[in-house]
Amino acid sequence: MTQYHVSASAGSLSGNGTEANPFMTIGQAAAIAHAGDEIVVHSGIYRESVDPRFGGESETNRITYRAAEGEPRPIITGSEHIDTWVPEGDGVWRVEIPNTFFGSYNPYIETVFGDWTVYPDPREEVRHLGDVYLNGKSFYEVSSLDKVRNPERWDTGRDAATDTVVPLIDPEATVNVWCCAVDAERTVIWANFHDVNPNEELVEINVRQTCFYPSRTFVNYITVSGFELAQAACPYTPPTADQIGLIGPHWSRGWVIENNLIHDAKCSAISLGKEISTGDNDSTRTRRKSGYQYQKEAVYKALHTGWKKGVVGGHIVRDNVIYDCGQNGVVGHMGCAFSLIEHNHISRIGTKREFFGWEVAAIKMHAAVDTVIRGNRVHDSVLGMWLDWQAQGTIVDSNVFYRNTRDVMTEVTHGPITFMNNVFASEFSFDDYAQGAAFINNVFAGRIRHAQVLDRSTPYHFPHSTDVAGEAFVYGGDDRYINNLFMGLSGVQRSERTVDAVGSETVVDTGSACFEKSPHSLAEYEQSVANAGLGDEEMIRYLPQSVELSSNTYLGGAQAASWEPGSQVSAESGSLGLRETDEELWLTLHLPNDAMQVTGAVVSTADLGQPRIVEEYFEYPDGSPIVVNRDIVGDSRDEQSARGPLASYPRGEVLIWSSAMSR
């Protein structure tokens, strides 16, 4: 093993990487480090994109990039400091930069582009991948110099998914805006700094696409630990694209990304996603096929080129603080399979609302096969987590979601997904466009939307494998709700149903009353199919699937299905409160006395059966059984434990998340 040292202040381009004669750039070490080597990066600002040439060989023989102990975090940034601004009056300044300054990638030419992007008016409001930062705070891009001279006050934006008006990050702050123009020789940027002289402050602009990202695939077993990574002009990352993030393994295996401060990715901070050979926004580029069709093709192309356990995926993303990114905190399609996403603090994702698309969420994953998402704190984002397509064998355990426009969405996946010990504290708690999930000992503060998807057939897999076993629509249901606490705090008092043109039904509820007519077991469902007579898929398409309900508590107007055994329904409201600092989060739950008295048995794999379509047990990725015998803070459960995420409810507050709590 060789240890290399890097120092922005004491190093040189002719250094040999020793502690006495360090490299000046991380890239110098990344060009020569091999399996078993360690790169120690000392405090300083590194304006570079690290492109590791080699990877490690195994979990125990990897390449480690780490911050030097006892020093401030080293900063890897995709931006450059600009101090040649020229005043134009009324707070507007201009800078002219030769295009050669950007090399082969100019973020002020490149736009937020790709399948499922949404612009209010793409003729007027196209956004570029570049940005302007004043003392670390990003500006808003506008479409013309006139709008730079006369910035509007942006108090709110509109969330396209929920059709609601929502506040921007800081509606009281002064709005700083910019625009750009590029010709064959130069890039011109205008920005409104109001009463600030940009040449006397730290003003930066995006220059690089990434901060730490290999240009080649299969650069395996790398650890990145202890850095600040920021301000990369990374592109939009739908599941049909080459999913490039501020940092990521680029279709490799075995990376560990831990204990980093990651912010201001134009689109996605950490990408565990797919690469370009399986498609790159082909629907938007060609208009030949739908994005849905190209996405399905991407799955089969990836299988053809070797997507399987032990070849791609198996990453660990833990103990990172991620914020102020335009699209995702963590994103991945297929490359995220078999991974652990643990104890990250993710906030303010998508909340600038400069652009929108159907792929925006703090955590957005497609094909998160056998992925564990545990102990994360996710808040103040457009959508907390979105598990889409092939979330099979996924475990979502002991996470806290709050103050999001929506907390969690599942879409066109058939399970099994296990949600246990989670806090869904926003007014819109859960968006369920999937089936085959088990919800055990969670708290739902707000409304839940259930929907069928009868016009998109999506793949499912053989257990604990990427091999495709078949495809199916989402018929709705086939879920299990046991020992949950429904608070009914969103104001929805009854089920609201709609049916679209293809017959897909959507229901908004705060409890389980929407399952009143559902079969109570798989055997009952099978009998309903037998009773329907001869036919095939078209016959069963509109038959309700079975739902298991047991021992849930409903408060404040949340309603239960009348047939649920062990349900506790109280018209009296409870309350849920959260108190937070950057490092800690406390939960207070006040429940009516009758709700405090009821208990729920310990639930395990043996109680949950198999989802009808997939026929895989609810179990851990290694095939061991799930036993929900611990609560959100790790306290033991027994047969007399409380319902919801805590095994017991004290009268005061409970510390449910801490930066020091990593497992």
pLDDT at position 356 is 84
Segment 627-637 shows an average pLDDT of: 97
CA triple 428-483-440, angle to 5 deg: 70
DSSP string of 44-68?
SEE-S-B--S---SBTTB-EEEEEP
Residue 120 pLDDT > 70? no
Segment 285-290 shows an average pLDDT of: 95
Show the beta-strand stretches assigned E in 72-185: 75-77, 79-81, 86-89, 92-98, 117-118, 132-134, 137-138, 140-141, 156-159, 164-167, 177-182
What value does the mean pLDDT of the chain take? Answer: 93
Torsion of CA 167, 171, 176, 181, to 10 degrees: 20
Residue 541 pLDDT > 80? yes
pLDDT at position 124 is 64
For residues 246 and 229, is the Cβ–Cβ distance under 8 A?
yes
pLDDT at position 319 is 98
Residue 485 pLDDT > 60? yes
Pairing between β-strand 453-461 and β-strand 468-474 as defined by DSSP bridges? antiparallel
Amino acid residing at 30? A
Q: How confident is the model at residue 354 (pLDDT cuts 50, 70, 90)?
A: confident
Q: Using CA atoms, how far apart are residues 562 and 629, in angstroms rounded to an integer?
A: 28
For residues 399 and 341, is the Cβ–Cβ distance under 8 A?
no
Segment 272-287 shows an average pLDDT of: 96
322: β partners: 262, 346
- Comparing 137-151, 256-270, 412-426, 501-515, the range with the smallest average pLDDT is 501-515
Q: How confident is the model at residue 539 (pLDDT cuts 50, 70, 90)?
A: confident
pLDDT at position 175 is 82
Computed from CA positions of residues 238, 471, 531, 610, in that sequence, does the dihedral angle turn out positive or negative? negative
Q: Using CA atoms, how far apart are residues 327 and 234, in angstroms rounded to an integer?
A: 10
Please write down the long-range contacts of 280-288, taking CB distance under 8 Å and 24 or more positions apart. Answer: 280/240, 280/241, 280/242, 281/113, 281/114, 281/115, 281/238, 281/240, 281/241, 282/115, 282/240, 283/115, 283/240, 284/113, 284/114, 284/115, 284/117
pLDDT at position 173 is 58
pLDDT at position 172 is 55
pLDDT at position 121 is 64
Pick the residue with more confidence: 151 or 312?
Answer: 312
Q: How confident is the model at residue 169 (pLDDT cuts 50, 70, 90)?
A: very low
The conformational region for residue 441 under phi > 0 = left, psi -120 to 50 = alpha, else beta, is left
pLDDT at position 487 is 94
Pick the residue with more confidence: 334 or 556?
Answer: 334
pLDDT in tens, 226-240: 999 999 999 999 999
Q: Using CA atoms, how far apart are residues 143 and 134, in angstroms rounded to an integer?
A: 20
CB-count exposure of residue 51 (10 Å: 0-12, 13-18, 19+): middle
- Comparing 152-166, 314-328, 351-365, 454-468, the range with the smallest average pLDDT is 152-166
pLDDT at position 661 is 76
What's the token pair of residue 292? 């849905």
pLDDT at position 187 is 98
Q: Using CA atoms, how far apart are residues 279 and 172, in angstroms rounded to an integer?
A: 42
Segment 298-326 shows an average pLDDT of: 97
pLDDT at position 509 is 82
Segment 472-495 shows an average pLDDT of: 88
pLDDT at position 571 is 86
What's the token pair of residue 124? 């007027």
List helix spans (H) across 396-435.
none
pLDDT at position 569 is 95
The structural domains of the chain, ordered by start, are 1-68 (3.30.1910), 79-206 (2.60.40.1180), 407-663 (2.160.20.10)
pLDDT at position 150 is 87
Residue 533 pLDDT > 90? no
Tokens 């680029």, located at residue: 250
Residue 163 pLDDT > 60? no
- Comparing 191-200, 327-336, 431-440, 506-515, the range with the smallest average pLDDT is 506-515
Q: How confident is the model at residue 23 (pLDDT cuts 50, 70, 90)?
A: very high
The conformational region for residue 44 under phi > 0 = left, psi -120 to 50 = alpha, else beta, is left
- Comparing 247-251, 592-596, 604-608, the range with the smallest average pLDDT is 592-596
Q: What percent of the chain has pLDDT over 70?
A: 94
Q: How confident is the model at residue 156 (pLDDT cuts 50, 70, 90)?
A: very low
- Comparing 49-58, 437-446, 486-495, 568-577, the range with the smallest average pLDDT is 486-495
Segment 294-298 shows an average pLDDT of: 97
The conformational region for residue 251 under phi > 0 = left, psi -120 to 50 = alpha, else beta, is left
Residue 269 pLDDT > 60? yes
Q: How large is the C-alpha radius of gyration of the chain?
A: 25
Q: What percent of the chain has pLDDT over 90?
A: 86
Tokens 């298991």, located at residue: 548
CA triple 205-208-211, angle to 5 deg: 110
pLDDT at position 54 is 98
Half-sphere exposure (Cβ direction) of 102: Cα atoms closer than 13 Å? 25
pLDDT at position 166 is 54
137: β partners: 134
